[in-house]
Chain A
Amino acid sequence: MNNAKAIRVDLQIIADMIEPGARVLDVGCSDGQLLEYLVKEKNVRGRGLEISPNGVNACVAKGLSVVQGDAEEDLGYYPDNGFDFVILSQTLQATHHPDQIVKDLLRLGKRAIVSFPNFGHWRVRSYLFFKGRMPVNESMPYQWYNSPNTHFCTIKDFIVMCDEMGVTIERSIALDADGQAHRIRTNLFFANLLGEQAVFLLRKD
C-alpha cells in the first residue's frame, strides 16, 4: 500500500517475511511500531508481549493486543503452535537464555523471525581490537556494566546455535551500515564482517 507509514528498515525486512492474514506474536514489541504496521498493512491477527509499562501503554492505547510481561517468564503460558510467526526483534541479546527462547518461539509458532545486532561487525571487532574496550556505539549504546545486553553474539555464533539445536534457517539476511540487505548464505565471512544487524527466518524440522 502506498499510504503505508514507513518503518525501520530492519522491521520492514521482518514484515516482508510475513504472509498476509497470518497469526503473529511479536515478543518484545516495544511501542508496537512493527505490530501496528502488520495489523494495518498485512491484516495479520497480531499479538504482542512487552516488558516496559510505557511500551505496553502505547500499544494498548493504539488498540493493539499486547500483554505486559517478561518473555522468559511468560512464553511458557502460551499454547503450542498458536501462531504462524513469532517475532523476536532486537531482543535476543537481552535474554538470559537465548537458546531456550528460540526453542520457545518455535514451540509457539510454525516459524520464528529473530533479529539481533551482529557482534561480529568489523567496527565492533576493531573497537575491541584497537581500543581494547567493550564496544559502545549507536546500536550498542550501553557501557558493559549497565548494559541489558548480556548475550551478544555474531551471525556465525547464531548459525552454529541453530545448527546444534536442529533448527532450520529458511532465510537469513544481513543489513550493512547503509541499510542494504545481503543474503548471508551467499558469503558468510563477509556478511559476518559487514552486517550490522541480522534477520533470520527459522522453522523447526
Chain B
Amino acid sequence: MSIADTANNNPYEDDFPTQKAILGMDMPMRLDCGAELSNFSIAYETYGTLNADKSNAILVTHALTGDQFVAGVNPVTGKAGWWSIMVGPGKPIDTDRYFVICTNVLGGCMGTSGPAAVNPETNEPWGVDFPVITIGDMVRAQALLLDEMGIETLFSVVGGSMGGMQALEWAAAYPERVFSCVPIATAATHSAQNIAFYEVGRQAIMADPDWCDGHYLKAGKKPRSGVSVARMAAHITYMSEAALTQKFGRRLQDREKVTFGFEADFQIESYLRHQGNSFVERFDANSYLYVTRAMDYFDLATTHGSGRLADVFKGTEIRFCVVSFSSDWHYLPEESRVIVRGLTGAGANVSYVDVVSDKGHDAFLLEEPAFERVMRGFLEDAARKRGLIDE
C-alpha cells in the first residue's frame, strides 16, 4: 500500500491534512459500469486505536455531502466533525473502545478520487469523463482500503442516509466481513420521489452555463448558481415541515414588511440562500452529480438477488439495528420498515427503532437522546458478543 500525502490534485483540498491510500495499483478496480479504475486515492481518517486482533474496527459511512472528518476537528472548516455528537471518547461510538474509520466516498471531493481529481492519463481534471460510480463501487473501494490496513472483519458498519445505503451494501456484498450493521434513516432502494428531487438538483447544475458541459475546472469556472439551487432544493427535504415552521414560520428577514420584490423577504429564503452559497465553496458540482446518481442506482434487492430483500439476507449472521425518524420524509420510516421486514423474513437478528422526532431527516445528525441510547445499547451488546467488553 502506499499511504502518502500525494500531490494535491484537487482544487477543493486546499492543503488540508488527511490520510490517503492509493489503491488499484497492482490490479485496477472494476466498476459496476464496466470501467476500470487504477491508481485512485481514498482519503480517510481514523480515530481510536486498533486492538491487537483487529476486531474493534467500526466503519462510519458518510452521507451525500459528508466527508471523512466524522469526529474531532474538521481542518477545513475548523468546526467539530459532522458526527461529533455520536463519535468520540465516551460517545456511543466510543473511540476509547473502538477504532473508527471514515472514508471520503469514491466520487467525492475531499481527497478521494472523483470528477474533480486529475485524470492521471490526461493530467487534467476528470470532469464528466470520470466513470459513473455506484454505492457498490464506493463499498468495494472501502473494502480494498481495509485489505490494505489488514482489517479482515468490521465490528460494525454504521451510517445514515447514503451512509446507510453503504452499510446495507456492506452487509449484502461482504456478509463474512461484517459483525454488525446500523443503517440509519435510509432505504434499500431510491424511491421515485428521491430520484426526482435529485434530478431537479442535477438539472439546476447542468443548466448553469458555467458548468461548461462538465469541464468547468478546465475552463476555470464554477457553476455557482446551479450548485446553490441544487443544495437549496435538497436541503428542504432534510427538514420536516414542523421544524421549518418552528424555526422560520413566515417571519421576515431583517425587515418589517414584505418588499413586493424578489429579495429574500422571508427568513427561510435567506436561510436557504445561505445554505446554497456556502455549499458552493465546499462541494464540487460534478461530485454532486456523481454521488446523487450513485444513490439513484441503489437497489439492493435487485443488485444482490431476485428482487426480494429477504433473499439477499437469507442466513446472514450479522446483527442489525435499523433506525428511522418519525418525521423523516426524505427516507420515510416506511422504507426502513421494508428493510426490517426483509431482514425478519430472512430470519436475521434485527432490532428496529423509529425514533420519535420532529427534526426530519437531519435528526440523525442532531441531538436525539433516545437515538443515542439505542446506538450505545446496541453497540455495547454487540461488543460483549464480540468479546470487546467482558460479559
A47–B350 CA distance with the chains assembled, in angstroms:
8
A60 and B347 contact, CB distance less than 8 A: no
A-B contact pairs, 18 of them (CB 8 A): A47-B349, A53-B356, A56-B353, A59-B351, A60-B353, A60-B377, A61-B377, A65-B350, A65-B351, A67-B340, A67-B350, A67-B352, A68-B352, A69-B340, A77-B345, A79-B310, A79-B345, A82-B347
| Residues of chain B lying within 8 A (CB to CB) of residue A77 | 341, 344-345
Does A60 lie within 8 Å of B378, measured CB to CB?
Answer: yes
> Do A60 and B351 touch across chains, with their CB atoms under 8 A apart?
yes
> Would you call A78 an interface residue if the criterion is a C-beta within 8 Å of the partner chain's C-beta atoms?
yes
* Binary contact readout A45-59 vs B (1 if CB under 8 angstroms, 0 otherwise): 001000001001101
Q: Does A170 contact B (CB under 8 A)?
A: no
The smallest beta-carbon distance between A79 and chain B, in angstroms, is: 6
Given A61-B373, A61-B377, CB of A78 within 8 Å of CB of B351: no
Residue of B nearest to A77 (CB): B341
B250 within 8 A of A: no
Q: How far is the CA of A60 from the CA of B384 in the complex (A)?
A: 14
Name A residues whose Cβ lies closer than 8 Å to a Cβ of B.
47, 53, 56-57, 59-69, 74, 77-79, 82
Interface of B is mostly: helix
Bound Cα distance A111, B332 (Å) = 35
Q: Does B319 contact A (CB under 8 A)?
A: yes
Known A-B contacts A57-B373, A69-B337, A69-B340; the reply to A63 vs B354 at CB < 8 A is no
Question: B143 within 8 Å of A by Cβ?
Answer: no
CB < 8 Å neighbour of B354 from A53, A62, A66, A79: A53
Cβ of B4 within 8 Å of any chain A Cβ, yes or no, is no
A124 → chain B, closest Cβ, in Å? 35
How distant is the Cα of A61 from the Cα of B382 in the complex, in angstroms? Answer: 11
Contact in complex: A79, B352 (CB < 8 Å): no
Nearest-CB residue, chain A, relative to B378: A60
CA distance A47 to B346 in the complex (A): 14
Binding site for A on B (CB under 8 A): 310, 319, 321, 337, 340-341, 344-347, 349-356, 370, 373-374, 376-378, 380-382, 384
Residues in B whose Cβ lies below 8 Å from that of A63: 377-378, 380-382, 384
Q: Return chain A residues, CB-CB under 8 Å to B344.
A: 67, 74, 77-78
A contact face: mostly helix, strand, loop, or mixed: mixed
The complex places the Cα of A192 from the Cα of B353 at a distance, in Å, of: 39
For B324, the closest partner residue in chain A by CB is: A68
In the assembled complex, the Cα of A57 lies from the Cα of B323 at a distance in Å of 11
Cα–Cα, bound, A64→B355 (Å): 16
A59 → chain B, closest Cβ, in Å? 8
Min Cβ gap A75→B in Å is: 9
5 A-B pairs with the lowest CB-CB distances in the bound complex, closest first? A63-B381, A61-B377, A77-B341, A67-B352, A61-B373
CB <8 Å contact, B347 and A79: yes
Contact indicator B321/A60 (Cβ below 8 Å): yes
Give B344's nearest chain A residue, CB to CB: A77
If A60-B321, A66-B351, A74-B344 are given as contacts, then 13 extra A-B residue pairs at C-beta distance below 8 Å, sorted by A number, are A47-B349, A53-B355, A53-B370, A56-B352, A56-B354, A60-B374, A63-B380, A63-B382, A65-B351, A67-B351, A68-B352, A69-B337, A77-B345
Distance, CA A9 to CA B132, complexed state (A): 61
Q: In the bound complex, do residue B341 and residue A74 qualify as a contact, i.e. CB atoms below 8 Å apart?
A: yes
Partner of A53, one of B346, B353, B376: B353
- A62 engages B377 (CB within 8 Å): yes
Interfacial chain A residues near B341, Cβ < 8 Å: 74, 77
CA distance A56 to B384 in the complex (A): 20
Q: In the complex, what distance in Å separates the CA atom of A60 from the CA atom of B310? A: 22
C-alpha gap A60/B323 in the complex (Å) = 11
Q: For B371, give the chain A residue with the smallest CB separation.
A: A57
Distance (Å) between the CB of B348 and the closest chain A CB?
Answer: 9
For B321, list chain A residues within 8 Å (CB): 60
A114 CB → nearest B CB, Å: 21
Measured CB to CB, the nearest residue on chain B to A45 is: B349
Which residues of chain B come closer than 8 Å to A60, judged between CB atoms? 321, 351, 353, 374, 377-378
CB distance from A87 to the nearest CB of B (A): 17
Closest B residue to A59 by beta carbon equals B351
Q: In the complex, what residue of chain B is closest to A78 when comparing beta carbons?
A: B344
List residues of chain A with CB within 8 A of the CB of B347. Answer: 79, 82
With a cutoff of 8 Å between Cβ atoms, the chain B residues found around residue A82 in the complex are 347
| Contact between B351 and A64, CB atoms less than 8 A apart | yes
Closest Cβ neighbor of A76 among chain B residues: B341
Whole-angstrom CA separation of A61 from B370 in the bound complex: 9
Collect the chain A residues with CB atoms within 8 Å of residue B355's CB.
Answer: 53, 57
Residues of A within 8 A of B319 (CB): 65
CA distance A63 to B380 in the complex (A): 7
Would B374 and A61 count as touching, CB distance under 8 A?
yes
CA distance A62 to B378 in the complex (A): 7
Complex-state Cα separation, A62 to B374, whole angstroms: 8
B residues near A66, Cβ cutoff 8 Å: 351-352
Report chain A residues within 8 Å CB of B378.
60-61, 63
Min CB–CB distance A119 → chain B (angstroms): 33
Q: Give A65 to B381 CA distance when docked, in angstroms.
A: 10
Separation of A67 and B342 alpha carbons in the complex (Å) = 12
B350: chain A residues at CB < 8 Å are: 65, 67
**Chain A residues with CB under 8 A of B377:** 60-63
